[in-house]
Amino acid sequence: MPPDAELESLMVRYQQGDLSAASELVTRLSPALHRFFMVQVVSRRYADDLMQETWLRIHEVRHTYRPGQPVLPWLYAIARHIRVDQYRKARRVEVHEQQVERLPEAAVFDRASGVDINALLAGLPESQREVVVMLKVSGMSLEEVARATSSSVGSVKQKAHRAYDKLRELLTSAGFGNER
């Protein structure tokens, strides 16, 4: 992930119509954004759809980015709203339709420990899972996560702490030690 100043520069250039800056932002930020969606949703295809929808929305609202502000909280706030909107839309459709079959996704394993990361994170409440992914997978700061989730730094810390406790409990019960 590039430094914030570089992302900010790319975003300002994108706002000014520089398509190469837009392309560079998509190239650099898509992997982290895709990981954000993968731990939140059931299928890779759905995560791909959410990511595409997020980039379309970013393109539509790029003028709302304020130069000098960090790009990641702005981007993740948009991604989070897309995910929530799509979830609500899917729930409305689900009431009228019944899903025929869901294909299992390949698990993501930490090769060193043999831990299924997706299954481990699935054991967390959605708000805690979201905070852990932003902090640990995307490398965002507490302040950036707070902005992206429209919550206070204290709330983010509390969710992270509870998530870490729950993950520690899950790992211990799976036989991966009980060290802190």
The residue ranges of the chain whose pLDDT is under 70 are 1-3, 42, 90-115, 177-180
Q: By the 8 A CB rule, do 21 and 71 touch?
A: no
Amino acid 2: pLDDT: 47
Residues 10-39: pLDDT tens digits? Answer: 999 999 999 999 999 999 999 999 988 888
Amino acid 170: pLDDT: 82
pTM: 0.57
Domains (ranges, CATH) in the chain?
1-98 (1.10.1740.10), 106-180 (1.10.10.10)
